[in-house]
Homo-oligomer: A and B are copies of this chain.
Amino acid sequence: MKANFSYVGIRVKDLDRSIDFYTKLLGMDVKRRSKIKETKGEIAELQSGDRRFTLELNYYETDSPYDTPYVVGEGLDHLAFDVEDLVEAIEEAKSAGYRVVLELKTEKSRWAYVEDPNGIWIELQ
């Protein structure tokens, strides 16, 4: 079929804490925030940089049928962000209290993974 990959939606445990991470640490902008009556949920749509591809944060109220126990799981391997200076970015994440879970270095490149407030791996490169 003819289809267009339009956005990625992650589920979050705490919408405000997650918005803080993606806006204050990673510099994304909140484009829209709205309650979804049908799912007893709330979403925030974020974008950043030149690509303006949407990251949707999905939160479900505790009485929503979709508020199932939260396990990060393997489906989402990671979300990747290009940064200007990797060393500075790692320091900034640490100072803000976020966990740097892995740093990798090859002859050609260097990158690191930081955990978002939900335990999702964020690749900085």
Copies of chain A in the complex:
2
Q: Is A4 at the interface (CB under 8 A from chain B)?
A: yes
Could you say which residues of chain B place their CB within 8 Å of the CB of A68?
A: 74
CB of A11 to closest CB in B, whole Å: 4
**Which interface class (under 10, 10 to 19, 20 to 34, 35 or more) fits A?**
35 or more
**Which A1-41 residues have a C-beta within 8 angstroms of B?**
1-11, 25-28, 38
Chain A positions 71 through 115: 1 when the CB is less than 8 Å from some CB of chain B, otherwise 0: 111111111111110001100100000000000101000000000
Of the A-B pairs whose beta carbons lie under 8 Å apart in the complex, a sample of 22, sorted by A's number, is: A1-B88, A2-B27, A2-B83, A3-B26, A3-B49, A4-B51, A4-B82, A5-B48, A5-B51, A5-B53, A5-B81, A6-B125, A7-B79, A11-B75, A51-B53, A56-B77, A56-B80, A71-B75, A72-B73, A72-B74, A75-B118, A76-B76
